[in-house]
């Protein structure tokens, strides 16, 4: 999955809201969008697409079918701590996206965007055996999001657009080699916000 297009759109959208720039529009029908609009996953371009309520409803009713678009769910579920070391995570902040073919791609946010690697299939199956909730992660549109940096223990099932939002946040707030004083408070605020959402 490429977070590039979604990441660029989130950064543009954030900048536009701060500067009073052009309003965001549905990428399918060009209708104006509210700040809390839904996203579709474009399987052809492997990125999130901003959509209006009508287009979101159309794909929610029709399901995936033969369409290249899939509605990104809104589920956010906090999980008990999961041992992620065997998944090959080199850092404490990462997300894991299962794909339709059974493979899993891991990403970690960085000042340059999202870095990615393939997760060992047997390591993922072991994680699922230890945490059966992971078997229900919807391929392509949901992810296991982990934050064990700075002695924290956050483990969530979230929509992939939340992961793209976190990548944009890290990229925007990172300063210097270690991140500076703004990025980690912003990450903690992001996770606190997950807990507040329905």
Close Cβ partners of 126 (under 8 Å, ≥ 6 residues apart): 86
Q: Where are the alpha helices (DSSP H) in the chain?
A: 4-19, 53-62, 121-130, 160-173, 183-196
Residue 3 has a CB neighbour count (10 Å cut-off) of 26
For the chain, the structural domain boundaries read 4-71, 77-196
pLDDT by 10s per residue, the chain, length 198? 444 555 445 544 444 444 455 689 999 999 999 988 999 998 888 888 999 999 988 877 655 455 788 899 999 999 998 888 888 877 789 999 999 888 999 998 888 888 888 999 999 999 999 999 999 999 999 999 999 887 778 999 999 999 999 999 999 998 887 778 889 899 999 999 987 776
Eight-state DSSP code of residue 174: -
Close Cβ partners of 129 (under 8 Å, ≥ 6 residues apart): none
Tokens for 194, please give them: 């997950």
Q: Is 197 left (phi over 0), alpha (psi -120 to 50) or beta?
A: beta
């Amino acid at each position: 999955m490429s977070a590039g297009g979604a990441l660029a759109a989130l950064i543009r959208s954030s900048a536009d809201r701060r500067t009073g720039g052009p309003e965001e529009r549905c990428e399918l029908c060009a209708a104006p969008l509210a700040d809390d609009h839904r996203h579709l996953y474009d399987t052809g371009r492997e990125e999130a697409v901003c959509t209006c309520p009508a287009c979101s409803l159309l794909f929610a009713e029709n399901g995936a079918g033969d369409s290249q678009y899939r509605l990104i769910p809104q589920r956010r579920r906090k999980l008990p701590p999961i041992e992620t070391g065997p998944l090959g995570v080199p850092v404490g902040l990462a997300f894991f996206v299962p794909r339709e073919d059974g493979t899993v791609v891991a990403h970690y946010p960085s000042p340059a965007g999202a870095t990615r690697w393939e997760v060992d299939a047997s390591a993922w199956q072991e994680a699922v055996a230890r945490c059966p909730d992971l078997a229900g992660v919807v391929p392509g549109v949901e992810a296991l999001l982990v934050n064990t940096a700075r002695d924290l223990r956050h483990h969530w099932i979230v929509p992939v657009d939340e992961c793209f939002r976190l990548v944009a946040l890290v990229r925007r707030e990172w300063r210097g080699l270690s991140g500076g004083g703004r990025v980690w408070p912003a990450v903690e605020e992001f996770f606190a916000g997950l807990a507040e959402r329905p």
